[in-house]
Structure 1
């Protein structure tokens, strides 16, 4: 197995929304805000070479939304999904599987593009199977009023219309579900219904793609929960179980949204689970 970091683009989000009830005087120390109260955010996707499979986990915002839409998120830097794939030696047509942790626009927007004459949409990875799960798909395609702005039908429905969509089943009771893609999956429901977190065995370690259960290194303390979460108290419970296990077993935690800390480990301290080590993807994946 070989793993690559795919940087799909950087943007900014409101720091208060990212940290919920945590005071700015605290979170601003780890995630400094600009004059508009915005903090740096990444869309750090993962590409897995495993036998005949080339698996892309999440796809960032994509590029098909309007300038007005992107203006809300203060895009910065020169990363893009296709450029990053090209730098690693791959073309979108090489991708065999696209695994979506969940269907919020900043995680799946790059899965679908405009068609050639911009009259409609087409999947960005024409040879890939797109993976979600039934419960989350239902949640995203019949959205609640709180998340409706994050579930954009143009990002989602073309996957099904193309015939490329498949669902992963969640067994009852297991901490990690098996997947057809060769890695385990942790299902969590606090941020959104049935978000899926891949757990990979890599060089003798468990490497976890944290998606929105742990957005940045600044979110390590258990009560530091995003204002975006639909069930924040459930997130606290899910996060406590996960972070304690991560400290017990020395997980490598892949931070999708932290623009400045790529992979971290955590440890138990008198104050609870806290940061242990920060590593770059290059250091871990060399």
Structure 2
């Protein structure tokens, strides 16, 4: 097995929205804002190569939205999915599975693209199976008013129309073995959106957790640093407390999807609670 970080693109969001009720004087220490109060974010996917399987966890915003849409998100940098797959010798047609942590546009938009004559949509990964869970699918296709702008029909409905969509069973609690041969489990959390899935992967002598939107950046590690986007912020705090303790107890490394500058981090217990220990790149930890 090999793991590869795949930066799909970078964007910006309002720092206040990303940190909710936390004062700017605190969050700007880790996530400095520009003159418009925007902070730098990424859409980093994780690629898992194991035998004939090539699994991509999340796939960024994609490129099919119009200029007005992307204008809201201040795209920056020159990263994209195709460029960074090519870096490791792959193309989108090589992907066998695309696993979605959840179906907000910045996590699944890259899975669907315009067809050749731009009259409709088609899967960007023509040889892949798409994976979500039934409860989250219902949540995304019957969206509440708060999340409606994040669940875009053009990203979601073509997944089902393709015939490539699959549902994982949702456990009542605990982890679910998505791919036992890959030593990959899934933690379900509900504070950000209903039945978000966090993959847990054993790799070499480490365990890596794809933190998705439970802990989007290193600045969000403290328990009370919760996004304004979360539908159930008090539940997020409860889930983070349990999750962070699990990470410390088991020496898990966090893999950040939205941190534009940090790929991995270890955690430590301090007098103030669980905090960042060290940050690493995949190359530093695994030597490639």
Q: Say whether the fold is shared (TM-score over 0.5).
A: yes
Query: 1:180 — aligned with what?
Result: 179
Q: Secondary structure at the match of 1:110?
A: helix
**Deviation by residue 1:68-121 (Cα, 9 ceiling, x = unmatched):** 100000000000011111121111111000000000000000000000010000
After the TM superposition, list the runs of 4 or more consecutive aligned residues in structure 1 that deviate by more than 3 angstroms.
none
Is this contact kept in 2: 1:248–1:267, CA < 8 A?
no
What CA distance in whole angstroms lies between the structure 1 residues aligned with 2:68 and 2:283? 35
Q: Secondary structure at the match of 2:101?
A: coil
Query: 1:283 — aligned with what?
Result: 284
What runs of 5+ residues in structure 2 fail to find an aligned partner?
none
What CA distance in whole angstroms lies between the structure 1 residues aligned with 2:120 and 2:189? 33
What CA distance in whole angstroms lies between the structure 1 residues aligned with 2:244 and 2:256? 13
Shift of residue 178 of structure 1? 1.0
Shift of residue 248 of structure 1? 1.5
Are residue 32 (structure 1) and residue 58 (structure 2) matched? Answer: no
Is this contact kept in 2: 1:263–1:279, CA < 8 A?
yes
Is this contact kept in 2: 1:264–1:279, CA < 8 A?
yes
1:164-243 matched pairs, under 5 angstroms? 164-173=164-173, 175-180=174-179, 182=182, 183-243=184-244
Shift of residue 285 of structure 1? 3.1
What CA distance in whole angstroms lies between the structure 2 residues aligned with 1:152 and 1:283? 37
Query: 1:10 — aligned with what?
Result: 10
What CA distance in whole angstroms lies between the structure 2 residues aligned with 1:82 and 1:144? 33
**Deviation by residue 1:202-229 (Cα, 9 ceiling, x = unmatched):** 1122100000000110111100000000
Is this contact kept in 2: 1:10–1:76, CA < 8 A?
yes
Q: Secondary structure at the match of 1:42?
A: strand
What runs of 5+ residues in structure 1 fail to find an aligned partner?
none
Query: 1:256 — aligned with what?
Result: 257
Is this contact kept in 2: 1:19–1:225, CA < 8 A?
yes
Are residue 82 (structure 1) and residue 82 (structure 2) matched? Answer: yes
Q: Secondary structure at the match of 1:239?
A: helix
What CA distance in whole angstroms lies between the structure 2 residues aligned with 1:274 and 1:142? 37
RMSD over aligned CA atoms reads 0.8
Is this contact kept in 2: 1:247–1:267, CA < 8 A?
yes
What CA distance in whole angstroms lies between the structure 2 residues aligned with 1:187 and 1:258? 21
Is this contact kept in 1: 2:226–2:233, CA < 8 A?
yes
Count of residues paired in the alignment: 285
Are residue 115 (structure 1) and residue 147 (structure 2) matched? Answer: no
Is this contact kept in 2: 1:140–1:151, CA < 8 A?
yes
What CA distance in whole angstroms lies between the structure 2 residues aligned with 1:156 and 1:48? 23
Is this contact kept in 1: 2:134–2:170, CA < 8 A?
no
Is this contact kept in 2: 1:178–1:184, CA < 8 A?
yes
What CA distance in whole angstroms lies between the structure 2 residues aligned with 1:99 and 1:177? 14
Q: Secondary structure at the match of 1:9?
A: strand
TM-score by length of 2: 0.97
Shift of residue 158 of structure 1? 0.8
Q: Secondary structure at the match of 1:10?
A: strand
| Range with greater deviation from structure 2 (180-189 or 207-216) | 180-189
**Greater strand content:** 2
What CA distance in whole angstroms lies between the structure 1 residues aligned with 2:235 and 2:196? 13
Q: Secondary structure at the match of 2:17?
A: helix
